[in-house]
Structure 1
Amino acid sequence: MAVTHSLGFPRIGARRELKQALEAYWTGKIGLSDLTEIGRQLRERHWTLQRRAGIDLVPVGDFAYYDQMLNMTVLLGAVPERFGIGHEPPGLDRYFELARGNQDQPAMEMTKWFDTNYHYIVPEFRRDTVFHLGAEWLFEEVGEAKALGLNVKPVLIGPLTYLFLGKAKDEGFDRLELLPRLLPVYAQILGRLEEQGVAWVQMDEPALVLDLPADWLAGYREAYRTLASGPKILLATYFESAADRAELMKTLPVSGLHIDAVAAPEQVSDFLDGYPSDKILSLGLIDGRNVWRTDLGRALALAETARAALGERLWIAPSCSLLHVPLDLEAESELDPEIKSWLAFAVQKLEELAILDKGLRLGVEAVRSELETQARALRERATSPKIHNPAVAARLEKLTEADFRRYSPFPERIPLQRERLRLPLFPTTTIGSFPQTPDIRKARADYRKGERSEAQYREIMRKAIREAVRKQEALGLDLLVHGEAERNDMVEYFAEQLEGFAVTRQGWVQSYGSRCVKPPIIVGDVSRPKPMTVEWIAYAQRQTRKPVKGMLTGPVTMLQWSFVRDDQPRAVTAFQIALAIRDEVGDLEQAGVAAIQIDEPAIREGLPLKRRDWDDYLDWAVKAFRLASSGVGDDTQIHTHMCYSEFGDILPAITDMDADVITIETSRSGMDLLAAFREFRYPNDIGPGVYDIHSPRVPNKEEMLRLLQKACEAISPERLWVNPDCGLKTRGWPEVEQALANMVEAAKMLRQRWVIEGRRRS
């Protein structure tokens, strides 16, 4: 009989209860006891749901009020000294300061969890970092779960993955040097869990699927020899094949391994070959990253093959934590029933797991009807007219090399753009969105429910645009935006208007902290029936003599931040989206828009985890952006924006994108990310973010000026733009206006200093 288990479960709640509670707490509307009670209720609800679904080992420790990686930092006593917390376990208020910053300290850095859209808080390490057992939260949650009669499996980020994903703050320092100091604290944690009666601990080591250096691989032997006593360890990998680590993993002194048999089903045979008789093997058979129904017949056949080799030592599970998918498909009452029949969210994925478990225990005949129902849904999806559009395929076939390049190179384009835009040195702009006020959100909700007419809704949006333009002019910004009042989300807004996408109403997924997104689902071939943004951008441009940027989301980000169809190559889907965006770019240019921003915050995130696959991905990803952006004249300026990323590895590809201006998030790193651009001699214009919009902290103008001066050491001043790190949708107007006023003043101060410096030199 196979053991069923879950690697993690969505924590935000079916109606985003955690998000609402967090934001209510941060604004003082509820107290700490209210927040922690809501957290306790959510944990109990989700544990109970999993147990009722037939999960034998329920995960504990996958819950976090902000981020699971930040939880590990607090548990390990690795809070950065700059926050002045010392060795005292931080309460939730101090915990939130680590993620959101305070008036004295910027927040810890944040970046993407492997190739997902989930953000984690990056650990900070120094040579003298000391680890010690921190907060008691994990042990308290284990106690909660055991009091409910649950068979629990605590979840920890493994020591090598924790160190590898952190950042060294001292030059010439290797994070791996900290491993001997770190392991005793892990051993202490495991000892405490054993005292609580825990039999199994899940140790997540997804770094094993990366191209790790040899000394890091050797570190796994040292680590797990040290941790061999205590509860049994299930070492978990996911998101990619770990086949090239199979021999190492099979020799580690752990009691079980988990591998992702969805992302890499071929690796199962590598692990079964000579698999140790003293270890269990867990197969991730249900996709924890996407929303399509599982081919249960194929999954059951793979599980049967493994059971023939392993017997009772086979466990089955989703491929990874279900954090990355929405909670329950049954909440989608408005979704097309045909499309709905093709999908499975977290709850339905547990149901699929239960079917596999039943089939393994009782034989295929016991689940024949479930297998046939699932197979029929898969066949109907493959032949549905909602999937294939011959006109889209024909257009792709007609593309030529000329469709993927601008008419002239950047050095010839940029003088024409500067002449047209007439912006000062160090031009100021924003990334696109402004605060989505309660009035804006209510107007959108009322319009959806039919409680406002279209004319009423449009006038409310126009009023918001007029107000955004007025505020930007008053602040003295140079290149304006319309504020995106009409947009619910930078991806969903376009998905609602493009053929080939389906959108949900309750399909929320956590991105970071209280930030949740509702990824659309790419169900078929993508095309644009009509213009999507031209009316709003043109209206904003009529309100001012200053130039207004058109704002679009790029094809790779549309792809990466959606649930992608799995029946054709991702490159084909990206090109389909690119053609739709290209049509919108052309219409914006025809409307007289001089600068058009095509955001690609996810392009680094989409980079495959194995370097062997990078060239192919970067080739089609860059081509997709160029296809979307290259149909304009030389005097139309193309901008793009990229989120938290380590850009050094892909700078040649970023250069090949050939955007006239790129804006990037750099403030949390103190402009350190610009070092790679300096060393590479990035040739086009660049706007490094001068303040962190993910934090409520408002930096003063002197702080921003220092960052800009540091940026001038890496980027030629004539190519340097001034902007925030990201869009301002989630912030409030008072802090936005203060921060932008400081930013504009910092840019003016820098212009004055540069003019004075220029006179001295002359």
Structure 2
Amino acid sequence: MKKLFPTSTAGSLPKPSWLAEPETLWSPWKLEGAELTLGKQDALRITLKEQEHAGVDIVSDGEQTRQHFVTTFIENLSGVDFENKKTVRIRNRYDASVPGIVGPVSRQKPVFVDDAKFLRAQTNQPIKWALPGPMTMVDTLYDDYYQDRKKLAFEFAKALNQEAKELEAAGVNIIQFDEPAFNVFLDDVNEWGIEALEIAKAGLTCETAVHICYGYGIKANTDWKKTLGEEWRHYEKTFPAIQKSSIDIVSLECHNGRVPLEVLSLLKGKKIMVGAIDVATDTIETPEEVAATIREALKYADADKIYPCTNCGMAPLSRDVARGKLHALAAGAEIVRKELSA
């Protein structure tokens, strides 16, 4: 019998301090050359062991081998200028120095495939691998070439599809596309965002997920959340179209936010990664708090469709806090498993 409430993380986990600056996004590497390659592999082994030790069921690389969840993929494509960066507003919230599109984009070589093969060789557990979603990629650079968000997103989606097919062949069980931009550009999601995702996942036989959150626990995001009012209803505008899509799993933010959980009923038939861990606080949830979020989700979704998860990535947190949150996630899921089996 398949385990109820299989747990996972949304993506990133903190890197060891000998690899990169702790609790920092876009942190530069502290090693180089062959030492960096070995250091990334060591960090990947550590983050895997910490997930397994905590009782996480669907494991990931914790994004140990990439500097950032979006730009590491982009910088491996042709047509991208990383030398002459420009400052842009990301998701209408904060400024970042980003690469530019100066010619036709295409994937020349695998980006994460070797890392995925390495992870696959270390564990027998199901593996989830996160890739940036096309819309979020478009929003994390400046475009001097296409000057058309939809056209560029479709080109990115083709490159993602090539990568995803090789990740699947490397033994990845779930490929997740990270689309925090889906909570900002709501009209675009329905007009072309989901269509771009369908291009990115075309031909895959492994399960696919889309992760839609309110962002890392950084000040720009927490400040933005304060402007969103008493109820965050962004998901209502996009979930009906996502429900009709061929994506298997939808990952969303539930704990400590203001998302009314009845939005889960808009995803009928989909598996749902229910965010039961707040990544915007250093307070470690109790297992009972995690269980309460899962019980609330059970009012709107079937038990066999609920996959407890973190709200977002945990790269900006300390390793101790992230470790504590992973243990709470697994323990909270176990509480509700026992309740249902009784």
Q: TM-score, normalised by structure 1?
A: 0.40
CA deviation vs aligned residue, 1:450-481 (integer Å, no higher than 9, x gap): xx3x2211100000001011111111110000
CA deviation vs aligned residue, 1:572-631 (integer Å, no higher than 9, x gap): 1111000000000111112122221121221231234xxxxx6xx623211110000122
Q: State the match for 2:223 in structure 1.
A: none
Q: Structure 1 residues 484 and 681, CA, compared in 2 at 3 Å: closer, same or farther?
A: closer
Q: State the match for 1:214 in structure 2.
A: none
Q: How does 1:281-360 map to 2 (within 5 A)?
A: none
d(CA) in 1 for partners of 2:57 and 2:129?
A: 14
Q: Does 1:666 align with 2:254?
A: yes
Q: Does 1:710 align with 2:296?
A: yes
Q: Is the CA contact (8 Å cut-off) linking 1:491 and 1:520 kept in structure 2?
A: no
The structure with the greater share of residues assigned to strand is 2
Q: Does 1:696 align with 2:275?
A: no
Q: Is the CA contact (8 Å cut-off) linking 2:15 and 2:64 kept in structure 1?
A: yes
Q: State the match for 2:193 in structure 1.
A: 621
Structure 1 residue corresponding to 2:39, chosen from 452, 460, 463: 460
- 1:531 offset after TM fit, Å? 0.3
Q: State the match for 2:29 in structure 1.
A: 445
Q: State the match for 2:181 in structure 1.
A: 602
- With a CA cutoff of 8 Å and minimum separation of 6, indicate the structure with the bigger relative contact order: 2
Report SS of the residue matched to 1:433. coil
Q: Does 1:577 align with 2:156?
A: yes
d(CA) in 2 for partners of 1:432 and 1:567?
A: 30
Structure 1 residue corresponding to 2:81, chosen from 479, 496, 502: 502
Q: State the match for 2:213 in structure 1.
A: 643
Q: TM-score, normalised by structure 2?
A: 0.86
Q: Is the CA contact (8 Å cut-off) linking 1:560 and 1:606 kept in structure 2?
A: no
Q: Structure 1 residues 668 and 461, CA, compared in 2 at 3 Å: closer, same or farther?
A: same
d(CA) in 2 for partners of 1:479 and 1:537?
A: 14
CA deviation vs aligned residue, 1:218-238 (integer Å, no higher than 9, x gap): xxxxxxxxxxxxxxxxxxxxx
Aligned length: 318
- 1:732 offset after TM fit, Å? 0.9
Report SS of the residue matched to 1:479. coil
Q: Is the CA contact (8 Å cut-off) linking 1:622 and 1:656 kept in structure 2?
A: no
Report SS of the residue matched to 1:438. coil
Q: Is the CA contact (8 Å cut-off) linking 2:314 and 2:322 kept in structure 1?
A: yes
Structure 1 residue corresponding to 2:334, chosen from 748, 752, 755: 748
d(CA) in 1 for partners of 2:87 and 2:283?
A: 27
- The residue type paired with residue 29 of structure 2 is A
Q: State the match for 1:538 in structure 2.
A: 117
- The residue type paired with residue 284 of structure 2 is V
d(CA) in 2 for partners of 1:510 and 1:565?
A: 15
Report SS of the residue matched to 1:474. helix
- The residue type paired with residue 606 of structure 1 is F
CA deviation vs aligned residue, 1:336-383 (integer Å, no higher than 9, x gap): xxxxxxxxxxxxxxxxxxxxxxxxxxxxxxxxxxxxxxxxxxxxxxxx
- 1:657 offset after TM fit, Å? 3.3
- Segments of structure 2 that go 5 or more residues without pairing to the other structure are 22-26, 215-231
Structure 2 residue corresponding to 1:485, chosen from 64, 67, 89: 64
d(CA) in 2 for partners of 1:621 and 1:641?
A: 13
Q: Is the CA contact (8 Å cut-off) linking 1:687 and 1:722 kept in structure 2?
A: yes
Q: Highest Rg: 1 or 2?
A: 1
- The residue type paired with residue 493 of structure 1 is T
Q: Structure 1 residues 702 and 583, CA, compared in 2 at 3 Å: closer, same or farther?
A: same
Report SS of the residue matched to 2:122. coil
d(CA) in 2 for partners of 1:515 and 1:650?
A: 23
Q: Is the CA contact (8 Å cut-off) linking 1:504 and 1:518 kept in structure 2?
A: no
Q: Structure 1 residues 506 and 647, CA, compared in 2 at 3 Å: closer, same or farther?
A: same
Q: Structure 1 residues 515 and 619, CA, compared in 2 at 3 Å: closer, same or farther?
A: closer
Pairwise CA RMSD: 2.4
Q: Does 1:676 align with 2:255?
A: no
Q: Does 1:733 align with 2:303?
A: no
- 1:563 offset after TM fit, Å? 2.0
Q: State the match for 2:224 in structure 1.
A: none
Percent of aligned positions with the same letter in both sequences?
27
d(CA) in 1 for partners of 2:121 and 2:96?
A: 32
Q: Is the CA contact (8 Å cut-off) linking 1:701 and 1:746 kept in structure 2?
A: yes
